[in-house]
Amino acid sequence: MRTDGEQESTSAIERRLRLRLAAESSGFVGVAPMADMLGVSVVTVRSDLALLASEGVLQRVRGGAIPAPRPTGERSLEEGLSAASDEKAAIGREAAASVSSGQSIVLDVGTTPLAIAHALVAREELRDVTVITNGLSTALALEPAIPRFTVVVTGGTLRPLQHSLVEPLASEMLERIRADIAFIGCTGVHPEAGVTNVNLPEATLKRRMLQAATRRVVVADSSKLGVVDLGRVAAPDEFDRLLTGAGAADGLVAALEEAGLAVTRCRALGERVSP
């Protein structure tokens, strides 16, 4: 067993992925056995488990951790901000890096699209970018980039929890535009069921967003992969690419790619795991 000062045999992201997968497959991970398996100290494993618990992935118990129970129903935007925050930031940077000056973007509601908004604002060299969004929080996050950006809010009926604008009236503007890229959030990405969302009003508007853009990108942290929720947005092959976190399981990624969806796993600091 190594001490904290010694070189770790696996990266932090790889360690946490293995801890998560071990917990999901066996129902429990012990600190000491995982330290031996990963070649790191028990202090390092405890720190990793604490971080995964803070992100809502695992639940700490005596001697280790168990998988966190998946919440039923829809979380508020604020409740979702802390979950998989590192992955969402990495996805945000990757998405923002694909945007060029002069382009138009449809940017969905949700915590991952919100991370994209922050990353776009941070790209101070971007000019003449038009962003159309149905998220009030997304629009406010983009405000510091005005006048470099033009921020357009769809209008519509306000939904609580996500602070989103939906039907009636939300799709009227989307029917009158053709954007370069749409970044669509969701609560589930499944090889067979496709991209889904926990609430029907937003799922309906996400389909409208797809129709309003030339390039369609779904953004979802790794906890959303393999999940199926009520409202179907589109089939996997209706999107050009999925941007997800480095913690995405190889089996799920392979199944999604076989279903026609190209997948990019985004590392912290914007480094990509796969093309």
Query: So what's the pLDDT on residue 167?
Result: 87
Query: So what's the pLDDT on residue 269?
Result: 63
Same fold, 12-67 and 77-270: no
* Predicted confidence (pLDDT) per residue in 30-76, tens digit: 999 999 999 999 999 999 999 888 877 788 988 999 887 665 555 54
Query: So what's the pLDDT on residue 244?
Result: 96
Residues of the chain with pLDDT under 50: 1-9, 76, 78, 80-82, 270-275
CATH number of 12-67, picked from 1.10.10.10, 1.20.120.1630, 3.40.50.150, 3.40.309.10: 1.10.10.10
In the chain, where are the structural domains located?
Answer: 12-67, 77-270
- CATH number for the domain formed by residue range(s) 77-270: 3.40.50.1360
Q: Pick left, alpha or beta for residue 266 (phi over 0 → left; psi -120 to 50 → alpha; otherwise beta).
A: beta
3-state helix/strand/coil string of 45-58: HHHHHHHHHHCCCE
User: How far, in Å, CA of 81 to CA of 84, rounded?
Assistant: 8
User: How far, in Å, CA of 98 to CA of 180, rounded?
Assistant: 11
